[in-house]
Amino acid sequence: MSAQNLLVELLVEELPPKALKKLGDAFANDLWMALTSYNLTTINPVKYGEDLLAFASPRRLGVWIKAVKSQADDKDVLQKLMPVSVGIDAQGNPTPALVKKMQSLGVVCESASDLLNLIHRAVDGKAEALFYSSTVKGESLQHGLQKAIEETLQKLPIPKVMQYQLHQDCDMPGWSTVSFVRPAHGLIALHADQVVPVTVLGLKAGQITSGHRFEAAVSPVHISHADAYTQTMEKDGAVIPGFEDRSRVMVKALREEAKKLGTRLEVEQAGLTDEQAEAELMSNELVQEVTSLVERPTVMVCQFEEAFLQVPQECLILTMKANQKYFPLLAGDGQLSNRFLIVSNINPEDPSAVITGNERVVRPRLSDAQFFFDQDRKKTLESRVARLDKVVYHNQLGTQGERMIRVCNIAQDIVTALAASGAEPWISQETQLIQSVVLAARLAKTDLLTDMVGEFPELQGIMGQYYALHDGHDTLVAQAIADHYQPRFAGDDLPRSNVGWVVAMADKIETLVGMFGIGNLPTGDKDPFALRRHALGVTRILVDKELPIGIKSLIDHTQAAFAHKALPSFDKTKLELFFQERLTGLLEAQGYPQSHITAVLEAPDLKDWCQLRQRLQAVAGFSSLPESQSLASANKRISNILKKTQEPVDAVVNPSLFIEPAEHVLHTQLESISAKALSLYMKQDYTGSLLALAGLRQSVDDFFTDVMVNTEDIAIKKNRLGLLKLLHTHMNRVADLSRLAQ
């Protein structure tokens, strides 16, 4: 059958911009998959951008598919009918059941012999069955495409379905109601230059569509051939139908205008090559949303009064991006410029009216931001603390005021615990750090009561930093107020200072203990209180900043802060496991093998995570040694032996009870090597400690070859178990080596 390229376009009213790209991709992929299921496509798998093109603009969804058949190939079908015992009687004649089954398949025979000639026997499992071979005619493109489009529209990820009534002159006149994301007004289905007569949403397929509402060269636009769609739409319709193509044109124009002004786009990361910057911008949320709002982008330069730059630039940037979909510009020093870029859907000869209009629109927004900023600074953050008692945090956990007191206590306890570990700067600056973290924790949530954060919740913390500096607070305290929300997402920056680390951990673990205490745990993909993110944030701070405090200790300090609040569902073990899952996921994402992670986490003396990466590196080095597997297997064997003992085994050895030479050799070498390994371990040279233990391989192998541990002599048996316990203790300081056994 002939294979030609296929074009399908559905013309609709303006689609929801945040869903447009997903709708376009789904329309193209699902239609291709449906046609493939009807054997109408010839290329599988397809190359996106070559064999399959998706189109998505504000008013259309479309797809171009290479080499689609006009008629699917006929195919042979072998169908199982029934067991032989059911279909053929004792005389060898067809039973009524077989005759009826064949009639249901459209086969009517004049005689029993004719019917028997059409079927054959074959073994099916343990019994014989009857089978019928037939040839099924291939699906025509018309019928296959009709079903494919209907299936595709049913599967589209539509955010909200809209119901509308069809026109009187369509195939389903009257008050027929149709459900779709937006009212549809046109349908194109072209197989090369031939219309495929399908009907969808009350629309007959044709070759006519609409171009740009204001700038199309002709109206309507006639598509002569499936392969001429993109060129015709750009030339006659003034529309760039491909989402990626339109986005690429827009990004290039935005970057060119920014460079002309000696600035860069605020959404563009500094220091990237042109290729890297364009690739990054193509996936930017604002870029994708604006791409979904225009059919042919035109970039224009606007500006606002420099006086507005006295307002924190985060406020100005947010209001321009969130409310107006503008692109702020940054000067060479990274500070906000008073010029910004807009993307227009029209390209007039004189753009002054468009530019002036957008400048007039943004001015009240910036004035509001300036007003909020000025009003907020009339009150100190400290003066807002009392109002936290009137803000409900959770009906079972109290107000924000109560929560603030808990976070302050937790933060103070964390500093005290860190100082008790003897680590710097915690021990030498304990008093000063306690004052700073308690003050930062006290003021951390007060900016939630400001007008600016009330208008722009995304600025919580950021505005607190500005207002704290305005109130004369220390820079570390102000930064901690902003940073205590960090990390907000995977890969986000950690707080900038030790004050920020402590307040961030205190804030997050207070939420975790509180929510676990009242049974608000994450389920499946639902995590309304972002508990996974909070746990990952605490984990990252502990690991990356190498803080000498254990997660169990943190939970204990936090639980103590809830002394006057009931936590009926709190399960400490469950919360510890929750943290360990986050830790394991974090380390796996960084490339550490699961067996190495498990080995380190199950080391008997692992009280905190401050030396976690050093231990993992040591295990990696040990695993590369030829002796590693033998020692890991021996360690696993020792663990199993010790687990089976009915009484606890002490690591006490009496050399006078040794009988076999292998016992003497192992004990002698263990005393020598373990001293060196322990010395290196105490210096936190975990790699050197494990490498030293590798020298025990031969003596350990000889011991298990020549010595029977479970001898009948109780004293000798106990002494040998003591030797194994001693060996086990020395070998497992850095990590549980038995976990490395393959």
What CATH number does the domain containing 725 carry? Answer: 1.10.730.10
Give residue for tokens 């701070």: 541
CA distance 91 to 386: 98
Confidence band of 359 (pLDDT split at 50, 70, 90): very high
CA distance 163 to 258: 43
One domain, residues 286 and 363: yes
Does residue 127 fall inside a structural domain? yes
Segments forming the whole domain that contains residue 661: 623-740
One domain, residues 168 and 288: no
CA distance 213 to 347: 12
Structure tokens at 496: 């900038």
* Span 462-479, average pLDDT: 97
Last residue of a domain, one of 136, 155, 179: 136
Number of domains in the chain: 5
Last residue of a domain, one of 182, 200, 235: 235
Does residue 29 fall inside a structural domain? yes
One domain, residues 80 and 66: no
One domain, residues 16 and 64: yes
* Span 641-658, average pLDDT: 86
Q: pLDDT tens digit string along 585-610?
A: 999 999 999 999 999 999 888 889 99
Does residue 525 fall inside a structural domain? yes
- DSSP letter, residue 174: S
CA distance 192 to 213: 27
pLDDT for residue 619: 92
User: What's the N-to-C CA distance of the chain in angstroms?
Assistant: 56
One domain, residues 284 and 324: yes
Last residue of a domain, one of 102, 136, 170: 136
One domain, residues 127 and 189: no
One domain, residues 547 and 431: yes
The model's pTM: 0.82
Does residue 411 fall inside a structural domain? yes
One domain, residues 279 and 334: yes
One domain, residues 397 and 372: no
Considering only residues 156 and 73, tell me which one the structure prediction assigns the higher pLDDT: 156
One domain, residues 574 and 688: no
pLDDT for residue 513: 96
* Span 70-99, average pLDDT: 84
Does residue 609 fall inside a structural domain? no
pLDDT for residue 304: 96
One domain, residues 67 and 89: no
Instruction: Judge contact between 200 and 147, C-beta under 8 A.
Output: no
* Span 285-305, average pLDDT: 96
Q: pLDDT tens digit string along 13-56?
A: 999 999 999 999 999 999 999 999 999 999 888 898 899 999 99
Does residue 535 fall inside a structural domain? yes
CA distance 279 to 277: 5
Does residue 83 fall inside a structural domain? yes
Does residue 701 fall inside a structural domain? yes
Instruction: Judge contact between 39 and 96, C-beta under 8 A.
Output: no
pLDDT for residue 171: 53
Strands 184-191 and 199-200: unpaired
pLDDT for residue 126: 79
One domain, residues 361 and 311: yes
pLDDT of residue 544 exceeding 90:
yes
pLDDT of residue 1 exceeding 60:
no
pLDDT for residue 169: 52
Which helix (H) or strand (E) is 495 found in, with range?
Answer: none
